[in-house]
A and B are shown apart, each in its own frame.
Chain A
């Protein structure tokens, strides 16, 4: 039973921590991030800018820029711990078993190399095939990624293509070795709405063929459209995890509720845009207790003292919040008794 479960999960992050050295100690950018990405499904990772989404993706792909580094936890790709692997061994998994696409498809493609060649390269690094065979595979993949007239596009340079086409090329490059895991870091942020929908559909198609996809976005609309499960991140921590329906119908963490109401008020076209008051905290100076407490509309006294742990409130639905049930602030009882005692 447990075996089967592990088999299904392509990627498991287990208590992943990462940070940058600072004058005093380190700034912790990822704080015990745990999540799993199962085969054939799209797992979303949402959160405000700077909460550590890209950092999570980069940690998996070993792309964290100096001087940042992973400081703890495990990254398991089909049960193999990437962090305890030798450098070369880990590198050989990159591009072959896991691949990544980035936010800006213009700057992510080498401007002086034909796009076809860049896709070829992904094949040639990992497989001992002839150039002709690599090209054949590339053309096939370009076709599958919805690039019209692949034979001609193969010889194009990135600057000759539209943003949507470039992102399709990136997807083809990522998928050409049929990886088990695809990480997409805000793949549609730089694209317009219609192209965004097409790219999201393409990702859905890829996952239907069995790839596990980790889709990073700050756009809840995009997440709602394609994801099966969602993790919500705030200031380097996962604060809520659930399947898509639960998350959108019964969000429990105040932060998630805030995000959702910000979107729905946009959709209603109501005059006042509901936004979460306050701003993203400085990771170097996080408040005591729950990181979200300074902005939380339902914080209790306890929230500023006790750091909440991740806990499961119903099967598959986890939150990092002291709230026992909606409508009742944590620590309220204690407050009341204290008040009584004072009288």
Chain B
């Protein structure tokens, strides 16, 4: 409960900072919106219409009370309600991030596991090589290479868009590769560390076999550092989504955010950034919760 309140407070602070930051940036957004040839009278009229002539605190409370009700105002550049625009984008981004996260967690986790169990074997070297590649390669490069090989060359999957589930495969892999690499490396080293622990000797002394030791004693302890890492990867995924959505022409929050920045579309930008922040905070909340479930030491004594 305390954690949830904390999360809400963070969200509030972020929206405050975001709001402040967008007002500090020089230049009248309305002027940008109208183009170079707009006359001053029209600009003033529109400024008043958008409420931008009000004192800053009034603006903030208007924005905040709207945000609570799910109303982020009307996009300057697209002329539609921000919440409506985000609704469609939300589904696409959610699908993409979820697919990427699942890919990263599952392949990263499994590869790390296998690599640790068969330390220094060929699969270990192979997995660690691939993960290093994923970590060091920028997302757009991974995206373009995958696109070229699997869509353009092999024709296994659509090259872009969101037509069916198959079109999500490449973006998800491109986006998740980096995180998968980090997770694989972390899982590998965490598991190797865990296997050195004294209680592993105790388990073996009890007569447990390799798999018993691994599944009953080692894995759960390995998951402790991993869960935190997975939640942190969520923000990496979201920032990567901006690029992936652009390369694969997916109408998602990321692309919307880019659009908002270029057009100085303040309501749209506020909406998208706040949305991403909420997801990251939510992810951390889930990780915190999982951590207490997994590690009795962090629980409060009953």
The interface of chain A, by Cβ under 8 A from chain B, is: 61-63, 88, 91-96, 99-100, 102, 104, 107-113, 118, 121-122, 125-126, 157, 159-160, 170, 173-174
Q: Which of A61, A107, A125, A173 contacts B212 (CB 8 A)?
A: A125
Given A104-B198, A108-B201, residue A157 in contact with residue B296 (CB < 8 A): yes
A residues within 8 A CB of B207? Answer: 91-96, 122, 125-126
Q: Which of B204, B217, B220 contacts A94 (CB 8 A)?
A: B204
A269→B145 CA distance, assembly (Å): 78
B residues within 8 A CB of A173? Answer: 202, 206
Q: A112-B295, A121-B206, A125-B208 are in contact. List 13 more A-B contacts (CB 8 A).
A: A95-B205, A107-B197, A108-B198, A108-B199, A110-B217, A111-B295, A111-B296, A113-B220, A121-B216, A122-B206, A170-B202, A173-B202, A174-B205
A77→B198 CA distance, assembly (Å): 24
A residues within 8 A CB of B216? Answer: 121
Residue B277 at the A interface, CB < 8 A? no
A111→B208 CA distance, assembly (Å): 17
Within B200-259, which residues are at the interface with A (CB < 8 Å)?
A: 201-209, 212, 216-217, 220-221, 224
10 tightest CB-CB pairs across the interface, nearest first? Answer: A95-B207, A95-B206, A107-B198, A157-B296, A94-B207, A110-B199, A108-B198, A100-B205, A122-B206, A108-B202
B296 lies within 8 A of A110 (CB) = no
A223→B229 CA distance, assembly (Å): 48
A7→B294 CA distance, assembly (Å): 47
A112 lies within 8 A of B221 (CB) = yes
Chain A's closest residue to B197 (CB) is: A107
A62→B206 CA distance, assembly (Å): 11
Instruction: Give 29 pairs: A residue, B residue, CB < 8 Å, sorted on A.
Output: A61-B205, A62-B204, A63-B204, A63-B205, A93-B207, A94-B205, A94-B207, A99-B205, A99-B206, A102-B201, A107-B198, A107-B199, A108-B199, A108-B201, A108-B202, A110-B203, A110-B221, A111-B199, A111-B296, A112-B221, A112-B294, A121-B203, A121-B216, A122-B207, A125-B207, A125-B208, A126-B207, A159-B296, A174-B205
B residues within 8 A CB of A112? Answer: 220-221, 224, 294-297
Chain A's closest residue to B200 (CB) is: A110
Q: Mark B186-197, 1 if CB is under 8 A from A, else 0.
A: 000000000001
Nearest-CB distance from A107 to chain B (Å)? 4
A113 lies within 8 A of B201 (CB) = no
Given A92-B207, A157-B296, A159-B296, residue A63 in contact with residue B201 (CB < 8 A): yes
Nearest-CB distance from B199 to chain A (Å)? 4
Residue B301 at the A interface, CB < 8 A? yes
A110→B296 CA distance, assembly (Å): 11
B206 lies within 8 A of A125 (CB) = yes
